[in-house]
């Protein structure tokens, strides 16, 4: 009986995580970051200005191999 309870709890936790991620993803899509905000976090180096210009064209902020898209072009 105790083993079933543990397995059931683990199963609910594993199935619930993708749902939580999906709902939190919807909230972040409503409050998308802007390219200007990303540049402000980056700093004043020349590379930050190049990343900003690329973001304004594509909506994606790229640092090395990491590419994050969905930025507002502002």
The whole-number average pLDDT for the span 34-41 is: 92
**Whether residues 25 and 37 fall in one domain:** no
pLDDT confidence of residue 47:
94
Query: Higher confidence at residue 50 or residue 26?
Result: 50
What pLDDT score does 14 carry?
Answer: 53
Are 13 and 44 in the same domain?
no
- Gap between the Cα atoms of 55 and 72, Å rounded: 9
The span from the CA of 49 to the CA of 61, in Å, is 11
If asked whether residues 52 and 27 sit together in one domain, one would say no
Provide the mean pLDDT of the chain: 76
Helix, strand or coil for residue 69? Answer: strand
Which domain does 69 fall in, by range? Answer: 32-74
Regarding whether 37 and 6 lie in a shared domain, the answer is no
What digits encode the pLDDT tens for the residues 1-24?
Answer: 777 757 566 545 555 555 444 444
65: pLDDT strictly greater than 50: yes
Which residues, other chains included, contact 61 with Cβ-Cβ below 8 Å and sequence gap of 6+?
A: 35, 38, 51, 54, 55, 67, 68, 69, 71
So what's the pLDDT on residue 1?
76
């Amino acid at each position: 009986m105790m083993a079933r309870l543990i397995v059931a709890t683990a199963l609910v936790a594993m199935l619930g995580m993708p749902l939580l991620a999906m709902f939190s993803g919807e909230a972040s899509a409503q409050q998308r970051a802007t390219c200007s905000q990303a540049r402000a976090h980056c700093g004043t180096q020349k590379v930050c200005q190049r990343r900003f210009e690329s973001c304004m064209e594509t909506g994606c902020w790229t640092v090395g191999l990491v590419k994050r898209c969905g930025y507002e072009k502002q």
